Structure 1
Amino acid sequence: MDGSTADDIRYSIGDLARRTGLTVKTVRFYADTGLVPPTGRTPAGYRLYDVHALARLDLVRTLRELGLDLPAVRRVLEREAPLQEVAAAHAEALEVQIRTLRLRRAVLLAVAQRGSTPEEMRLMHKLAKLSDAERRRLVHDFIDETFGGLDADPGFVAMMRSAMPELPDEPRPEQVEAWVELGELVQVRDFRAAVRKMAEHQAAERAEGDRSGLHIALTGTVTSLVRGALAAGTAPASPDADPVVAALTAAYAEAFGRPDDEELRQWLSDRLGTANDPRADRYWQLLAVINGWPARESLRDVFEWFTEALRARLAGC
């Protein structure tokens, strides 16, 4: 035995390449950039490396395979940044990339299912990739514009603000489509104007006293009576609807302390026409799809029937 130890062994760049599985070109690049400096040189001037350089090169390869860029690798090797901190930061970055890839996959699946045009795909990807904070801001801006400066029902406004779209990390194609549609909907000027009018009606009623409890009770009464009429096949403009309309207008007159007359029916018709905008119902349906909530019961058909019945009687006056 010559008495040499592992520390005495020297490797050429070709040896390092064979031992690490890297190409000679890659090993030479790391050597040229100073990431793996040579331990010595042969008489002919060729670079040689010891076992510590081999271990350093193996660490460089591992860090690069994990996706760290060269500056980050250098900081770790020179102990400017603890490896655990670099690893934690990189793991967080990878998580963001993974979520982005999952979202892109969901967008592509949605496009494949609906046969979207290139422009629709561009818009879908643009809206779908918004961060959670950006999504909330988009909806909060909508609520600020439609309810801002008005003394609307605080409970309803609070509910609106708490019901934010939360697209999951692995959204289904229908959730991506719902988010895109919601993102477009809350930016429609006409829809914002309609919701603003609803808020103004709420504020006007609150000026006369808090009637939030009355509306809940009245909604129950309308739902019960109109569902019965719908089940019986009663047309809103038919004479058979008269008792239902009379019972409902009487309930509203009592609740609001107003005479049960044509003026009340006109007042009701105006407010129901605004409140029953189908886009408002669609807003809540889309939120349910995005957030994975149970399907929300729609009362649109109930209030459409009631509104049509009121208008038919106002037209006949």
Structure 2
Amino acid sequence: MSDHTELLTIGELARRTGLSVRTIRFWSDSGVVVPTGRTAGGFRLYDADATARVDLVRTLRELGLDLETVRRVLDRQVTVRDVARAHARAVDAEIRTLQARRAVLDRVARQGSTTKEMRLMHELARMSADERQRIIDDFVHETFDGVDPDAPGAHIAQAMRTVPKHLPADPTAEQVDAWVELAELVGDEPFRERVREMALAGARGEQQPAGPDPAKVAEHAGQAVREHVAPATAAGKEFLHRIVDPGLPAAERARLADQLATFTDRRVERYWQLLAVLNGRPQVPSQVPAFEWLIAALRAED
């Protein structure tokens, strides 16, 4: 009998392929390696082409494909190329999940965590990129709900959504910490209310004041902060007058202080700093302490 007409028992097929009879029988029952016929006693028989089919099934299974997908490939319902592409994407997603979990474990091993932090980190590690993005999108949507997208300052909403889809393949400790801190921050109700206050003020046209010059604030108010100069002192007044006109009327000083206070908040600045960390952008030195000092000085001057 030639190789083309020879029929193999399940045991002979197992010996040729190096697989167990049990595995081939399971694949046969699943419809991926169908016998050509049966003996008079009911035993399965396979043609010579079954060897190649078994080898292909084994390869596809080792790549992680389920039997239903394997059957569709063998029945030419889908191509191997299409399946490979889809499976490659699934493997990539699994790799990213494992990388996130490893990063969480590294963080716990590095510094320890509270039960609350560990639970949050575990949830973040399990989430898909879309689910992590949804946390930020929900926060931004609630914050800017009802704000005209063409209103002054409304563009900030889009900027607040710029969370990277994935952590880097080998995230730094700072990036892992930033993910955790950001998730905690956007889940905090007082923070959400504060950002909404800013959003509504911007929508009303209460743009951040054009003056004073931010460079002067950073230089002079920043120096006053570093030197621990109290705003409500003679020395504080000297620093203030390097930033604003000494002749500025009291009502204008109060208005300017209120405007600056509307858009000055340490935790909102921290949000932008965390986005910079996650997106791999350089950190900008904190400006809030200098502006807080200036606000206090404007309100303290007689």
Would the aligned equivalents of 2:30 and 2:67 in 1 still touch at CA under 8 Å? Answer: no
Matched residues, number: 299
1:81 alignment partner in structure 2 = 78
Shift of 1:69: 1.0
1:274 CA displacement = 4.1
1:127 aligns with 2:124: yes
1:261 corresponds to: 249
For structure 1, the residue ranges without an aligned partner over 5 or more in a row are 252-258
Residue 231 of structure 2: aligned partner: 236
1:128–1:179 CA contact under 8 A, matched in 2: no
1:165 aligns with 2:163: yes
Tell me how far apart the structure 2 counterparts of residues 62 and 196 of structure 1 sit (CA, whole Å).
55
CA distance in 2, matches of 1:169, 1:17: 45
SS of 1:48's equivalent in the other structure is strand
CA contact (8 A) 1:107 1:173 kept: no
Identity %: 46
Aligned residue identity for 1:165: V
- Deviations 1:124-174 (CA, angstroms, capped at 9, x unpaired): 232344444444443343334334445799564324413511133524443
Please, which of 212, 222, 232 is the counterpart of residue 217 of structure 2?
222
SS state of the match for residue 285, structure 2?
coil
Counterparts of 1:9-24 in structure 2 under 5 Å? 9-24=6-21
**Following the alignment from structure 2 to structure 1, what is the Cα–Cα distance between the partners of residues 40 and 131?**
63
Distance (Å, rounded) in 2 between the aligned partners of 1:23 and 1:42: 20
Compute the displacement of 1:203 (Å). Answer: 4.6
Matched AA of 1:278: R
Mapping of 1:1-317 within 5 angstroms? 4-41=1-38, 45-150=42-147, 156-163=153-160, 164-166=162-164, 167-170=166-169, 171-203=171-203, 206=205, 214-215=210-211, 218-230=213-225, 234-250=229-245, 260-311=248-299, 313-314=300-301, 317=302
**How much does 1:220 deviate?**
2.5
SS of 2:231's equivalent in the other structure is coil
Q: TM-score if structure 1 supplies the norm length?
A: 0.80
Does the 8 Å CA contact 1:140/1:161 hold for their aligned counterparts? no
The offset of 1:295, in angstroms, is 0.9
In structure 2, distance between residues paired with 1:141 and 1:20: 54
Query: Structure 1 residues 122, 16: closer, same or farther in 2, change over 3 A?
Result: farther
SS of residue matched to 2:191: helix
Distance 1:121 1:22, change over 3 A: farther
Q: Against the structure 1 CA distance between its residues 230 and 65, is the aligned structure 2 distance closer, same or farther, given a 3 Å change threshold?
A: same
C-alpha contact 1:10 1:51 (8 A) present in aligned 2: yes
Q: Normalization by structure 2: what TM-score?
A: 0.83
SS of corresponding position for 1:11: strand
Question: 1:51/1:187 Cα in 2 relative to 1: closer, same or farther (>3 Å)?
Answer: same
Task: Confirm or deny: 8 A CA contact 2:209 2:256 kept in the other structure.
Answer: no
Contact map agreement 1:106 1:176 (CA 8 A) in 2: yes
Q: Note if contact 2:208-2:259 (Cα within 8 Å) is conserved in structure 1.
A: no
Instruction: Quickly say closer, same or farther: Cα 1:271–1:188, change in 2 above 3 A.
Output: farther
Deviations 1:226-259 (A, max 9, x none): 23445666443331221221343428xxxxxxx8
SS of alignment partner, residue 79 of structure 1? coil
CA distance in structure 2 between the partners assigned to 1:104 and 1:18 by the alignment = 42
Distance change >3 Å, CA 32–CA 123, structure 1 → 2:
same
Aligned partners of 2:31, 2:158: CA distance in 1, in Å?
55
State the alpha-carbon separation in 2 of the partners of residues 130 and 157 from structure 1. 29
Change (3 A) 1:47 1:279: same
Secondary structure at the residue paired with 1:214?
Answer: coil
Return the structure number with greater helix share. 1
Does the 8 A contact of 1:103 with 1:169 survive in 2? no
